Structure 1
Amino acid sequence: MELKVVLKKLRESRNLTIKQLAEKSGLGNGTVGDIERGSNGARITTLKKIAEALELTKQEKEELFSCLIPDEVARLNKREKKQYDDFLNEATLYFKDEKISEEDKKKVLDTLTELFFEAKQLRKIKK
């Protein structure tokens, strides 16, 4: 499900307006509104603030954050998911002490995800 749909559903289930959620989460009205309209993606830190403000259950948090996971990753079996997580964890160690913007982190993550799936396809071709 799309992030904008999930966020709106969760906000409305708490009977909050965009303005109230923005105030409660310490975000601007425009930030929350942009996410709900789909005109702006959300950073993980922004979603964490929203999740805390909405006092989401574990299941609701999973629903909210799963919107950020590419479809290909969601379809991985348990073993492949572990391989993917290990791959990303090892790769992110290279950036541990670096100051890198959220936008650049997303670009790196997207590139690593593409590489993971390209490698997976190449392994299938070799077999």
Structure 2
Amino acid sequence: MSQVQANLLYTKEHEWVEKLSDTVVRVGITDFAQDQLGDIVFVELPKEGSTVTADDSIGSVESVKTVSDIFSPVSGKVTAVNSALEGSPELVNSAPFGEGWMVEVEISGADALEGLLTAAEYEAYIGNDH
């Protein structure tokens, strides 16, 4: 069974969101997503300073099976990119909620998190074979 962390918010595209402050969130892909993808061999992320829009693709994850888009769960400005993934994309597999995080985004307000799933809602969602 896939790990879901109670303190995070989630999307139906299998990204997680951790609120670091009132204005900054950290984003990554879920344990369920990395498990479905298999061994990740390359991660493409946006550049620091770029503007992202909720539900738009901000990069991709390439595994031995497929290439999948990463969708931004929020709108805002990218303030940090996990450069460790350039040389070690497998961190997304081994620590999707830790060292495998992808970007940090400065959001415009608390309402930017509206519509995201709670851990319980996400667990129910992936439990239904979506």
TM-score normalised by L of structure 2? 0.24
Greater relative contact order (Cα 8 A, min sep 6): structure 1 or 2?
A: 2
Structure with the larger helix share: 1
Structure of greater Rg: 1
